[in-house]
Amino acid sequence: MPAPAGAKKMKNQYKTIRDIKDWSGKRALLREDFNTPQDKSGNITDDSRIQAALPTLKFLTDAKAKVIIMSHLGRPKGKVSAEFSLKPVAERLQKVMPGVKVHFQSEAGPDTWASQLESLADGEILLLENMRFFVGEEANDPDFAKQLAALGDVFVNDAFGTAHRAHASTEGVGHHLPVKVAGLLMEAEIEALSSVLNTDEPLTAIIGGSKVSTKITVLENLLDKVRYLVIGGGMVFTFLKAEGIETGTSLVEDDYVDLAAKLLKKAKASSTVTLILPDDLVVADKFDADADTQTVDADLIPDGWMGLDIGPNSIRRLQAILEKSPHVLWNGPLGVFEMPKFAKGTKAIAKTIADLTAKGRCESVLGGGDTVAAIEQLGLAHADFTHVSTGGGASLEYLEGKTLPGIAILDKQ
């Protein structure tokens, strides 16, 4: 989707695969995030991460590089397990790249990697077995990283979803290769998140989800960068309690009430940011899809009831704010979207953002696994927004202002 008129695109400060003018015959040691969900029979149920990597894979294979892919799947804890094999990923890769030969290294280990490389032709792909079959991966063992590095001439990190992990295949390998560049997906992630965080134009950030504890640093970092900071999801009730409002049986993190109070105080003292909590809520008598519900003002939650979605007044207020927001950052659903009775707020806001993006009136950047799950459940496509991040924890840490090791290892422009 096009960015709105006047939007400022941030230049990527890291070198990318485009900066290498001749890939012919070079071995691209490529880190991807192919942690794809599978059913009990090993069939991939969602290949969006594979699809997101295709621009990088097509660029490198068209340029006649020898592409050696490292990835992970699940949490095998350093042990070989058929359940976590990347073989289904190799099979799906071959289907989505029919003109490219895809090899799979089924026998995991450095001794077999080198022999497989001998038969790898220019423009072909070799997918290595699950990196997390090796204890040295998550431990970022220097010797294991060195063994990996011996497979390539250039390290290409395209796995934004694991860029916050200092593992051997995401960060350690970069210490043993002279050239480290970003793939096209990594480039897109950095540019999209940087553009909203550094825009000179008004930014609305919608931060939802269940717990303040997982988003507190994000909220603190965004407070000085946004025009409107909208709080949604279960986090709302910790903030309401900080204002002295009774919250019934709603989710409250008592250990974070004081921090929420400090954020509210800082926002009220600011002349540049407005922190927004819901005006009304959909409450239920229990956490259940068939629960009895009612809509009440946010400060009138009945005893024994819990808030599970924002109400219609809150939806209209947020839609009015979005109408005048050239940049929107959204991380976390606004209610318990998994239950239809409590998905209305998330659905309405998602559709509003998608409509405004389609009209070229806003640049929309979405992040977080629950946010992605919500828009997919609601029947919206990733293409309905300017950018949908592939990184859950990684996008959160980026928004917190942290340095991600898988990005920091890359060569700068």
Opening angle at CA 316, ends 327 and 260, nearest 5:
70
Quick check: is 78 catalytic? no
Instruction: Respond yes or no: is residue 369 known to be catalytic.
Output: yes
How far apart CA 378 and CA 366 sit, in angstroms, is 15
**Of 69, 109, 107, 108, the residue nearest 89 (C-alpha):** 69
* 49 belongs to the catalytic site: yes
The catalytic position among 87, 146, 317, 369 is 369
Residue owning tokens 């898988």: 406
393 in catalytic set: yes
Q: What is the 3-state secondary structure (H, E, C) of the chain?
A: CCCCCCCCCCCCCECEHHHCCCCCCCEEEEECCCCCCECCCCCECCCHHHHHHHHHHHHHHHCCCEEEEECCCCCCCCCCCHHHCCHHHHHHHHHHCCCCCEEEECCCCHHHHHHHHHCCCCCCEEEECCHHHCHHHHCCCHHHHHHHHCCCCEEEECCHHHCCCCCCCCCHHHHHCCCEEECHHHHHHHHHHHHHHCCCCCEEEEECCCCHHHCHHHHHHHCCCCCEEEECHHHHHHHHHHCCCCCCCCCCCHHHHHHHHHHHHHHHHCCCCEEECCCEEEEECCCCCCCCEEEEECCCCCCCCEEEEECHHHHHHHHHHHHCCCEEEEECCCCCCCCHHHCHHHHHHHHHHHHHHHCCCCEEEEECHHHHHHHHHCCCCHHHCCEECCCCHHHHHHHCCCCCHHHHCCCEC
Vertex 367 angle, CA 365 and 369, to 5°: 150
The residues, any chain, with a CB within 8 Å of residue 4's CB and separated by 6 or more, are: 326, 327, 360, 361, 362, 363
Cα 274 → chain centroid? 26
From 15, 64, 146, 211, the catalytic residue: 211
Give the count of beta carbons closer than 10 Å to the beta carbon of residue 290: 9
Per annotation, catalytic residue among 49, 132, 225, 347: 49
Q: Pick the catalytic residue: 15, 341, 351, 393?
A: 393
Q: Which residues are catalytic?
A: 49, 211, 369, 393
